[in-house]
Chain A
Amino acid sequence: MKIAVCVRRTPSTETKIGIGGDGRSIDPSGVSYILNPYDEFAIEEAVRTKEAHGGEVVAITVDGADASKDIKKALAMGVDTAIRIDPPADADSAAIAGALAEALRDVGPDIVFCGKMAVDEQDFQVPLRVATMLEMPAVTFVTKFEVNDGTARATAETELGQTVYESPLPVLVAVEKGINEPRKTGIKDIMAAKKKPLDERAAPAIAAKVAVTKLELPPEKQGGKIVGEGVDAVPELLRLLREEAKAL
């Protein structure tokens, strides 16, 4: 089985965000990057599917050369090969999806795994754009996945409840937290990852559709009022919630 997984890195979720000099992006100083947490679930699911059914897993990222540490992590987790595509200039989600779709056409995967979103931009676009461009059935918010005799079965979990979808292959699956527990990698895995092939490609010429014009911090919330200590503070808290905040 040929399995692809789309990944990228994001600033760590513990990062305090500052605005960069261009006023449109974050201040990169002091920011540490991690694999997008949802993409880690996607990698784990891809590797588990390979372990159950055989085949190989290719990870694809559209990111600059400094993303290589994060690609190595995917390879250490059990991905077999990786493709890194330089991002098109001012790339938005549509351009990144376009670059991924182009690469995926060559790969010809049976299953494409993605994270449901990246925790920085949080725009949920890339997986479903890729699927639409490739005319591939797709499910997102997936918390359970299995494939048997060429049919994929994916459970999506949202505010609507649980919905189980069945699809022929190829299929794109965008995963939600809870689908699995990503494996820890050891020294041996990291050493093995160094020997795995990484195919680096130039940026495709794809124009962005959405331009970021400004990035701002939200107005600081003025909290800090301490009502009191322990159970004695409860009546006053309730009075404030009713009379001042009118929240009860």
Chain B
Amino acid sequence: MPSNDVLAILEFRGGQVTKAGPEVLGQARRLADTLGGAVHAFLYGEGANGAAAALGGYGVTKAYVADSPAFAAYNGGLVARAAKDAVAACDPRLVLLAATSPGKDLGPRIAASLDAGLAVDCTAIDIDGDALTAVRPVYAGKANQSIRIAAAPFVASIRPNVFPPAEAGAGDAEVVALDTAAAEGETRIKVAEVAPRETGKVELTEADVIVSGGRGLKGPEHFHLVEELAEALGAAVGASRAVVDAGWRPHSEQVGQTGKTVSPNLYFACGISGAIQHVAGMSSSKCIVAINKDPEASIFKLADYGVVGDVFEVLPALTEQIRALKG
């Protein structure tokens, strides 16, 4: 029988606990209160030891830390093996993590090693008696699925940017530095090279504002219109499947059911008609602007604000006026 405690899995990168960390800690605290248990944390990453005690400010009782040069780059097999030691030490009822790329890799590994049920990418999560209940978007947001896991332990990942981040208070967690030598010895897969993402370039799934272009741009040589608007806004650049399949843009920019699902505060769809599979990936954006010369384009039914017009005229005007606005 597991304890009533919650184990929050946290990632340490670039000198700090990642952005999703406080979101996980907020839900960990709430669910631990429901269960009448404590919150513990498993924090991994090179240099993580220095950040562990401060997790006490989020109500963490014990912080288990995996910190060695082997944790400098993400290696799922290694992190899962180290997490197993933390899980064994506190025997949690719930293991909670963020559904970032590392979290999507790590969650199933931990769930399988515990022979536990896993709720992935949840937008709502609760404890209902002895069970865990959750809601998760499926079909890239075309539908919401309610699920129930009857038997503990549970593993769940929460969608980033959905839950409010917990506020840090005062207090120190008890830091338990894990000996990672055994985990490192047993991990056959190694990181050979790392090419971090270009700094300064805004990542689609983390962006507050996204400017996406579609077939209305007529060719890759015109995408600078989208890039310039994005730059003026400090936004990330996205693309429809049509232009990715045509080879105009890299697949990493594709928004939609076979690309990325995004929910920024502001989404510009430029020269995008609004195919079902694209809309699925961006319909949860808080505010949608559509610019398209076809007044019948289905994207206008979804858009909060539509401008019927040629992207070749509207985009430069928009970019110029936004630049003036931001001075």
Chain B positions 98-122 with a Cβ under 8 Å from a chain A Cβ: 100-102, 104-105, 107-109, 111-113, 116-121
In the bound complex, do residue B145 and residue A212 qualify as a contact, i.e. CB atoms below 8 Å apart?
Answer: yes
- Interface residues contributed by chain B, number (CB under 8 Å): 98
Instruction: Decide yes or no whether A52 CB sits under 8 A from chain B.
Output: no
Tell me which of B148, B250, B309 has the highest count of chain A C-beta atoms within 10 A of its own C-beta. B309
Q: How far is the CA of A85 from the CA of B277 in the complex (A)?
A: 30
Are B192 and A224 in touch, CB under 8 angstroms?
A: no
Within A112-144, the residues touching B (CB, 8 Å) are 119-129, 131-133, 137-141
User: Bound complex: CA of A197 vs CA of B112, how far in Å?
Assistant: 32
Q: Is the CB of A247 within 8 A of B287?
A: yes
Within 8 A of A (CB), among B298-327: 300-310, 313-314, 317-318, 321-322, 325
With known contacts A160-B102, A165-B75, A167-B190, A177–B251 Cβ distance under 8 A: yes
* Cα-based distance from A231 to B258 in the complex (angstroms): 33
Query: Taking the nearest CB of chain A, how far is it from the CB of B177, in angstroms?
Result: 24
For B241-266 the 0/1 string (1 means CB < 8 A from A) is 00000000011101011110100011
Contact with B along A207-242 (1 / 0, CB 8 A): 001111111111001011111111101110110110
Secondary structure call for the A interface? mixed
Any chain A CB within 8 A of the CB of B151?
yes
Closest residue to A12 on the B side, CB-wise? B277
Number of interface residues of A (CB under 8 A): 80
Measured CA separation A164–B150 after assembly (Å): 38
Contact B189 A137 (CB under 8 A): yes
Question: In the complex where A128-B112, A164-B194 touch, is A158 in contact with B101 (Cβ < 8 A)?
Answer: yes
Contact A227 B321 (CB under 8 A): no
- Residue from B118, B258, B307 within 8 A of A119 (CB atoms): B258
Q: How far is the CB of A168 from chain B (nearest CB, A)?
A: 6
A229 touches B188 (CB 8 A): no
Contacts of A137 in B (CB 8 A): 77, 187-189
CB distance from A143 to the nearest CB of B (A): 8
* Cross-chain contact A227 with B306 (CB below 8 angstroms): yes
A221 contacts B302, C-beta separation under 8 Å = yes
21 residue pairs A–B, Cβ–Cβ below 8 Å: A15-B139, A120-B138, A129-B108, A129-B109, A132-B112, A137-B187, A153-B192, A159-B204, A161-B195, A161-B196, A164-B191, A209-B151, A210-B117, A211-B148, A213-B146, A213-B147, A225-B305, A226-B300, A226-B308, A231-B314, A245-B287
Contact B118 A216 (CB under 8 A): no
By Cβ-Cβ distance, the 9 closest A-B pairs, closest first, are: A209-B117, A158-B101, A132-B112, A128-B108, A137-B189, A161-B197, A214-B146, A230-B309, A178-B251
